[in-house]
Amino acid sequence: MERSLFGFIWRYSKRQQIVILALTVCSFPILYMTLELPKWIVNDAISGSDFPKMVMGMELGQIQYLVALCIGFLALVVANNGVKYVLNIYKGVAGERMLRRLRYMLYNSILRFRLPRFRRVSGGELIPMITAEVEDVGVFIGEAIATPAFQGGTLLVYMVFIFAQDVFLGAAAIALFPLQAYIIPLMQKKVIRLSRERIINVRAISERINETVSAAPDILANDTSRYHLADLSDRLFLNYRIRLAIFKRKFMIKFLNNFMNQLPPFFFYSIGGYLVIRGDLSFGALVAVLAAYKDLASPWKELLTWYQTLAGVNVKYETVVENFDVDDAIPAERLAGGADAVVDLPDTTIALHSVSASAGGSGQEIIDVTLEVNPGDRLAIYGADGSGRTELVMAMAGLLSPIAGRSTLGGRRLDELTQQTIARYVSYVGSDPYLFNETIRSNIVYGLKTDPVNDDQDDLSGLRRAEAMLTGNSLHDVAANWEDHSRAGVDAAEALDERLLELVTLVGLEGDLYRLGLASYAFERDDPDFRDKILKARADVVRQVREDKSWKALVALWEPKTLNYSATIGENVLYGVPRAVGTPVWAAASDPNVIAALAKAGVDDRLVAMGADVAGTMIELFSDTGADASLIGDYSFLSAEEIPQFTERLRRHKAGEDLAKADRAAFIGLAFRLIPGRHRIVTLTPDDESRLVGARSVIHDALKDDANYALFDSGTVIPPLSIEENILFGKPRVDRRGASDKIDALLRDTTRALGLRDPIARAGLNFNVGIAGGRLSGGQRRRIGLIRAMIKTPQVLILDSVVDGDRPLLARVLEACGTTTVVTGTADPKVAEAMGTVAAMRDGRLVARGGWDSVRNIAVYGEDDDAREREAS
């Protein structure tokens, strides 16, 4: 990567720069003509004589000539602005392309960092570099060559003009240029140094924020928030100080600049005036020189501004690039991919010969380890944390490069094999595999997404491709099919799902997945078969609820003609829910369409009255008793802040005043939250019930085409409800304790009988795992990592403490692996015992190798029996 900004600009945007320059030059004659033409109009057309004139073989009278010139002028104005428009767009395009290229290169550099580097740099520092810091570079690139060329050219022309008038005055006009050219860079240097400090300081702030996010539990637990506030405050102060220092210098430069620009006129008036009086200089020449100097000042100023911007951008570029251009980066060819990047290996023997490697810190190294793992071997690498276990496992997987010694896979040095080859043969799962903020399924098939499946067809096309070529970006289409099913040993997407579920069962995640599936909303994908099955399950459950007493006691079904006492009034009246998942039904009360439908159904007044009752009760129960905020927050329908507002609304309602639309909606919203079976605030008369139920059909008519609501219908799935709610088509009864748990047990039987367990587990695959898999437990994450590694059908499976504490899981994995080599790092003696051979690590050294019985003492206690006996004697 180019270390200097101009190197970068010249190397990648020569052509664009030349085009910009050419366009700039093109605009000169047009600009000149727009200044010249008005003169012709005044002199020739308006106050001219000897008409008609011959223009391009046509005879024109005075008026015609005037019109022609004016049209010409208009055309030139359009042309001038047109060129400017094109030029500006082109500059923007050139700058943005370069910015894209730069960001891509920087990101690519991150991907090429060796792993130990990530212990020293953090996302908090890297993110602002790639996003914010280089932004100015893009803006500047369009100006990089054109501005100095254009302004420099203009300056030169004016200078020649002045010199032609009078050499002495010309010299006077530029007398201060050398001084400016000397002093300003000198001062600018200081500004550059300060800008650098500021960039580094802002990075440190960004890093602090990043740390705060990661360390949130520890900050709270240690009560160190004030310390962190002080720390950040200090950083911000430093930022202020630097900025102030920059300001002072920057404006000092401006001041000097302006001063020096005003100085020459002083000489012109004094010396020039003296010369004119003496008669050594004509008055006309002095005026001309003064005018020329005035013109001279503007390009000179532009040039200086350009220089200052350049200096600022340059320092940004350099401070960014030096962080990415590291000496020990992984060679690009090892990551490049491509058809010829995979080498067929004769076998998958992993051999380490006197390998030493370090992951950065002390206790994170291995020293002089020699070890060989033959195809089909089962090896445990036993060692406590800090014994070098993890590092040895990573070295075997080719993730940690040896400082000394040789590590080979199939006889080839791991350092020289492409990552594509290694990943094809070897799967690695660390102790805490990273999960992306996507679904479980995409986290698993992540392991198959190394290249687009159809390499040629799936590349980018059209504009995307052209732009990618122009900016040296990736030509692969991210939207293409990247899931290489053949690597999982299956030929179709359905078969892959089967395989996924097999592996899910293998690692013991099936129950979890089923529960996630039940709670998931899996109707975005239009799968009629699945919908049919859900509806069948629903019909089954509804039948059972009607027939079976134990079900009936648990579920309050949705029946079109009866009020559901276990559901909110809102759901009951709409007989539906808002379509956006997670929107509470009472949000519907602020929708004018709903309010209009309620009015049409004639239930709005009753709902307002109900809402008023609720508000009255809430105020009485929570406000008048002096309950504190926690009690109000947990139980009240109204928050502490809303209470005064509702007190006022209630007063107006009681006084019989006409309520504003918003007030009515607020009351209806309260009524909508009411679950009659639980909140016994409002007593519903049979008349109320029949009116509320009767309103359903009117509301359905009004809302049936409204995309914001999903209306209940026993014959269709309701997308905003979870699979479980869809199957149940009702609510767990609120007057039964523990109804939900019992329903779970009953549902399990129904879904199993209908063969729905698999489809539901499959829906669970679409569960979004949250940031870094935060919505799953550590054990679940490790298991998903394990599936991700096994789906590739590797020939060598390398694990690090993934199966610790779970011997049955290990046994299942070993059985499923067949002839695959399995190496697992572990601190669990039971896991070590279950593997064929054990390599014991201690203080970075391989201290013993053999069956568990023979290495146990040295592995666990750090010394073998012989040594102890020798010591005793």
Partner 1 sequence: MSIDTDAAALRKIPLFRGIEDQKLRLLAFMSERVRFDAGENLVEEGDFGDVAYIILSGQADVLIDSNSGEQLVATVKENDFVGEIALLIDVPRTATVRATSEVVALAVTKEHFFKLLSNFPDMALEVMRALAHRLERTTREFGRLRASVTNS
Based on the shown chain and the rule CB under 8 A, indicate whether residue 340 belongs to the binding site for partner 1.
Answer: no
| Token couple for 225 | 């928030």
Q: How far is CA 490 from CA 379, 435, 566, in A?
A: 28, 24, 47
Name 237's Cβ contacts closer than 8 Å, sequence gap at least 6.
none
Q: Smallest distance from the beta carbon of 517 to partner 1, in angstroms? A: 29
Helix (H, G, I), strand (E, B) or coil at 367: strand
Restricting to residues 599-618, which ones interact with partner 1 according to CB under 8 A? Answer: 617
Helices (H) and strands (E) in the chain, counts: 35, 16
Nearest CA among 475, 496, 476, 499 for reference residue 485: 496
Q: Smallest distance from the beta carbon of 547 to partner 1, in angstroms? A: 16
| Token couple for 526 | 């239009």
| Interface residue with partner 1, options 29, 635, 704, 808 (CB under 8 A) | 635
| Interface residue with partner 1, options 677, 829, 850, 862 (CB under 8 A) | 677
Contacting range for partner 1; rule: CB under 8 A; set: 222-230, 316-324, 629-637, 813-821? 629-637
**Residue 428 DSSP label:** E
Q: Smallest distance from the beta carbon of 622 to partner 1, in angstroms? A: 7
Q: How many CB atoms lie within 10 A of CB 71?
A: 10
Per the document, the length of the chain is: 873
> Going along 313-391, which residue ranges are E strands?
350-358, 365-373, 378-382
Based on the shown chain and the rule CB under 8 A, indicate whether residue 681 belongs to the binding site for partner 1.
Answer: yes
Query: Burial letters for 635-650: b for 16+ Cβ neighbours within 10 Å, e otherwise?
Result: ebbbeeebbeebeebb
| Interface residue with partner 1, options 26, 627, 754, 816 (CB under 8 A) | 627
Based on the shown chain and the rule CB under 8 A, indicate whether residue 428 belongs to the binding site for partner 1.
Answer: no
| Interface residue with partner 1, options 622, 667, 709, 767 (CB under 8 A) | 622
Preceding omega of 52 cis (within 30 degrees of 0): yes
Please, which residue, 19 or 643, has the CB nearer to partner 1? 643
Helix (H, G, I), strand (E, B) or coil at 650: helix
Please, which residue, 49 or 683, has the CB nearer to partner 1? 683
Are 772 and 434 in contact, with CB atoms under 8 Å apart?
yes
Q: Smallest distance from the beta carbon of 639 to partner 1, in angstroms? A: 16
| Interface residue with partner 1, options 346, 524, 737, 745 (CB under 8 A) | 737
Please, which residue, 16 or 568, has the CB nearer to partner 1? 568
Q: Smallest distance from the beta carbon of 733 to partner 1, in angstroms? A: 8
| Interface residue with partner 1, options 47, 49, 362, 683 (CB under 8 A) | 683
Q: Smallest distance from the beta carbon of 484 to partner 1, in angstroms? A: 53
| Interface residue with partner 1, options 531, 579, 736, 812 (CB under 8 A) | 736
Contacting range for partner 1; rule: CB under 8 A; set: 188-196, 209-217, 619-627, 822-830? 619-627
Based on the shown chain and the rule CB under 8 A, indicate whether residue 735 belongs to the binding site for partner 1.
Answer: yes
Contacting range for partner 1; rule: CB under 8 A; set: 21-29, 58-66, 728-736, 779-787? 728-736
Dist. CA 726–CA 523, nearest whole Å: 10
Site string for partner 1, 528-567 (x = CB under 8 A): ---------------------x---x--------------
Please, which residue, 200 or 553, has the CB nearer to partner 1? 553
Dist. CA 827–CA 832, nearest whole Å: 8
555-557 and 730-732 strand pairing = antiparallel
| Interface residue with partner 1, options 47, 49, 625, 685 (CB under 8 A) | 625
Q: Smallest distance from the beta carbon of 625 to partner 1, in angstroms? A: 5
Nearest CA among 778, 751, 753, 791 for reference residue 504: 791
Please, which residue, 210 or 617, has the CB nearer to partner 1? 617
Contacting range for partner 1; rule: CB under 8 A; set: 261-269, 326-334, 628-636, 836-844? 628-636
DSSP run (H or E) holding 170 = helix 167-173
Reported as half-sphere exposure (CB side, CA atoms, 13 A), residue 725 has a value of 17
Based on the shown chain and the rule CB under 8 A, indicate whether residue 628 belongs to the binding site for partner 1.
Answer: yes
In one-letter notation, the amino acid at residue 307 is: Y
Are 769 and 443 in contact, with CB atoms under 8 Å apart?
yes
Contacting range for partner 1; rule: CB under 8 A; set: 146-154, 624-632, 699-707, 781-789? 624-632
| Token couple for 450 | 């190394």
Please, which residue, 68 or 627, has the CB nearer to partner 1? 627
Dist. CA 537–CA 83, nearest whole Å: 69
Nearest CA among 453, 447, 443, 444 for reference residue 484: 453
Please, which residue, 428 or 622, has the CB nearer to partner 1? 622
Q: How far is CA 801 from CA 350, 637, 807, 860, in A?
A: 20, 48, 12, 16
Please, which residue, 68 or 631, has the CB nearer to partner 1? 631
In one-letter notation, the amino acid at residue 124 is: G
Q: Smallest distance from the beta carbon of 634 to partner 1, in angstroms? A: 7
Dist. CA 198–CA 235, nearest whole Å: 10
Dist. CA 400–CA 773, nearest whole Å: 25
Restricting to residues 232-291, which ones interact with partner 1 according to CB under 8 A? Answer: none
| Interface residue with partner 1, options 335, 734, 772, 816 (CB under 8 A) | 734
Based on the shown chain and the rule CB under 8 A, indicate whether residue 742 belongs to the binding site for partner 1.
Answer: no
Site string for partner 1, 800-839 (x = CB under 8 A): ----------------------------------------
Question: Interface with partner 1 by CB under 8 A: which residues?
Answer: 549, 553, 617, 620-622, 624-625, 627-628, 630-631, 634-635, 677-683, 734-737
